[in-house]
Amino acid sequence: ASARALGKGNSPFAQALEPSKATFDWRKVIRSGFEAGMNSAGYDRQTYSRRNRRNPEGCLLPGWQECAPKIAICFDVSGSMSAEWRCAIMAESIKLASLYSARVYWVAHTDRVVASGWLSGEKGALSATQEAFSHTGGTDCQEAYELIRKSGSFDSMIHFTDCDVGPWPEMPSRKLIVAGLGLNGGEPRSKIPERAKLVRIETPL
């Protein structure tokens, strides 16, 4: 009340009471990963509502359409994210998986893979959160990326990490978004893959 009486953030006292804000909204980061997956060329199901590109005229032959994008989400649980952030990100992923009819595969890693699986419903997300986020340790995503590569062909992948990785593995999916978390938005210790996109998310971790 005293801070509000002094003005809308004009005084040092009022500004000190303002909650810290991310440099980029983490929800938008997750959504952009799903949208990137939707934009990938897909061959999941034949349909007569889309003409085959090799058959522009004459008899209508079925084309192909994307109907179930596959998204991978990688969590660095070496201590770079609080439990509240981890649970919130997992919950948002479940919501978007339902919205986009997407299949979501998650991997949690320290300097090794500590847990992984396919997200399936709220109960699945809860058990995944409890299983994955009870670990801590160093940071190395080599094993996590290799597991994702072996688990299927993914349209896009989002990696939440403090970026203390080196050297960075090759991209295990068609598109990769590196969500750098930290006080300054996560500064990679080594060069990220060439076609990957880095988004810095400033967090009070």
What is the distance between the alpha carbons of residues 203 and 143, in angstroms, rounded to a whole number? 26
| Residue range 136-166, pLDDT digits in tens | 667 889 999 999 999 988 999 999 888 888 7
The arithmetic mean of pLDDT across residues 76-89, rounded, is 74
What is the distance between the alpha carbons of residues 51 and 41, in angstroms, rounded to a whole number? 15
The arithmetic mean of pLDDT across residues 178-197, rounded, is 80
In contact, 106 and 75? CB cutoff 8 Å: yes
| Residue range 17-41, pLDDT digits in tens | 444 444 567 788 888 888 887 766 5
What residues does 200 pair with on adjacent strands?
Answer: 180
